[in-house]
Structure 1
């Protein structure tokens, strides 16, 4: 089954078209990356899928269901997004317990106490963090809470917008390993935005290279080891990264 399908996707901010003619499919269970320089439109694609960039045309479908331009509560049970900044994505005056319980309350789901406890354990946090506030947590702990919140409704598709770039280097590997384990254990599909090619080689099966709002190439992650890119921009991006990223850098 196709988890995410984008066809002829154009996205605008007011009169300015920032993404043009994007087409790709992500298979269920796959980890797929959008890579490219800052401003290439990567994060905008995620925002359109999540409903945060409503000025788009074309087709977006998630797990076989077409995405509309209106609010769709059911979409939250299929797909969730983890943002780049763990400091800005959590409400400063809400405890971890409140943050994790809110999705369950909104969707009328029971057994909230046990669900919160189980999800904290799943992301590597014990119960002593449950009633803390964001300012009492480290950056890595905040991002674990953000990941837990995204998983509370048991979605099968996760949109990851540079999920480790705001973290200390020492913490990045922990979060990437956590995401890799959760994908395996929960059968998740990932669409990840990153500019970090070693992250792609560690986390992803395929990648789409974006430049100036367009996809110039779709390639397997193995191209990061053999340099087998066909588009000149992809080749220059690969060369600028130093070529052949080593998984040991982040594992």
Structure 2
């Protein structure tokens, strides 16, 4: 069974169609990237899957279940999103404890304190952080909290929207290593949006190149590393990254 299936997906904002006829299958356990320049529609695809872009047509299926328009709590249990800005995505007046416990309360899950502490530990934060506020954390720590919040319901699919682009380079490496470990330990499927091809090389198995709301090429990460992308626009992206896509986080 595929983790995510998109069939003839169109997404509009008002009268403007920004995503056109996307067809995509992402296998369970796969890490897949959508890449392209700003405005190519890649983040809009994630928002449609998450239920944050309600004006769409076609079919979106998560773990074999077709999602409805708007809020879909069944999909939310299995598919969560991590946003680009780790400060903007956390409520500034809520403690980390309140932030992490909120999805448990919404879905009626018990044993919240133990779950919060366990998830903090899973993302590399100890109990000291539980009752702090977001402004008391560094950018990397805030993004760890955002990842923990996304994992509180034990989803199988994570949508990652530029999860390291707002962080310093050294912290980016820490978060990438964390995401790689969590995927391995929890059997997660990732759909990653990024313009950073070295990040794709490190974290993903396959990628789709988007331009003007359409997919122009789907390739394996081995093709990316070898510089063997075939479409002219894909080659332009690779050239803009310096002609290579290797990264070795520490």
TM class by shorter-chain length? over 0.9
* Distance in 1 of aligned mates of 2:70 and 2:243: 43
1:130 aligns with 2:117: no
Distance in 2, matches of 1:70 and 1:99, equals 22
SS at 2:160's partner residue?
A: strand
Corresponding residue for residue 45 of structure 1: 45
Match of 1:158 in 2: 158
Q: Is contact 1:206-1:218 (8 Å) kept? A: yes
2:89 aligned counterpart, secondary structure: coil
User: Is contact 1:3-1:27 (8 Å) kept?
Assistant: yes
Q: 1:241 Cα shift? A: 1.2
Cα shift at 1:179? 0.4
Displacement, 1:236? 1.3
Question: What does residue 220 of structure 1 align with?
Answer: 220
Q: Give secondary structure in 2 for the equivalent of 1:104.
A: helix
CA distance in 2, matches of 1:100, 1:106: 11
**Distance in 1 (alpha carbons) for counterparts of 2:247 and 2:241:** 14
The structural deviation recorded for 1:70 is: 3.3
1:193 aligns with 2:197: no
Q: What SS is found at the alignment partner of 1:43? A: helix
Could you list the per-position Cα deviations for residues 90-127 of structure 1 after superposition, in whole angstroms to 9, with x for gaps in the alignment?
A: 00000000001111111111111110110000000000
Quick check: 2:52–2:70 contact (8 Å CA) kept in 1? no
- Is 1:245 aligned to 2:207, yes or no? no
Corresponding residue number in structure 1 for 2:96: 96
In structure 2, C-alpha distance between the alignment counterparts of 1:176 and 1:129, rounded to whole Å:
21
Q: How does 1:80-91 map to 2 (within 5 A)?
A: 80-91=80-91
Secondary structure of 1:183's counterpart equals helix
- Aligned partners of 2:31 and 2:191 also within 8 Å: yes
Partner of 1:233: 233
- Mapped partners of 1:225, 1:98: distance in 2: 42
Structure 1 runs of 4+ off > 4 angstroms? none
What is the TM-score with the length of structure 2 in the denominator? 0.98
Of 151-160 and 233-242, more deviation after overlay is shown by 233-242
The RMSD of aligned alpha carbons is: 0.8
Matched, 1:175 2:175: yes
Distance of 1:133 and 1:70 partners within structure 2: 30
Q: Is the 8 A contact 1:9 1:57 kept in 2?
A: yes
Shift of 1:247: 2.1
Assess if the C-alpha contact under 8 Å between 1:225 and 1:243 holds in 2. Answer: no
CA contact (8 A) 1:83 1:162 kept: yes
User: What is the SS of the residue equivalent to 1:58?
Assistant: strand
Partners of 2:241 and 2:92 in 1: how far apart?
Answer: 36
| 2:29–2:187 contact (8 Å) kept in structure 1 | yes
Give the match for residue 36 of structure 1: 36
Q: Deviations over 1:112-147 (max 9, x none)?
A: 111011000000000000000001000000000000
1:114 is matched with 114
Preserved contact between residue 9 and residue 19 of structure 2 (Cα < 8 Å): yes
For 2:10 and 2:172, the matched residues in 1 are separated by 32
